[in-house]
Amino acid sequence: MKNYTLIRWGALNALGVLTYVILLASFFSRANQWFGETDKEIFTPAAAIMLFIFSALLTGGLVLAKPLMLYIDGKKKDGLKLFLFTGISLFVFTFLLFTILLIIK
């Protein structure tokens, strides 16, 4: 694969993670309004753990699935490059989020 294609895939994977994180943050900011503040004993921790596991599955798939497939198919350099480009894109998006936080402070 060309580096441009790998960079694009990496950025799209990171954008998928960013979109999911923003949706999850929106959910957390409104969860008390929807579910109330009372603890439901076992259900609240169970729901939180299930959400954590789902998040790991989803973000792990976005970050690792395509690089791992490339690596297993014998395109080891491409798989490692895609993983690296995805990591760099995640760092850039994280940096941009913190920059936005500093600006709107």
- Tell me, what's the pLDDT at 85? 96
- Tell me, what's the pLDDT at 44? 80
Helices 43-72 and 3-35, packing angle to 10 deg? 170
35-47 pLDDT tens trace: 777 666 788 888 8
- Tell me, what's the pLDDT at 31? 83
pTM for the whole structure? 0.85
- Identify the segments of the chain with pLDDT beneath 70: 38-40
CB atoms within 10 A of CB 41: 8
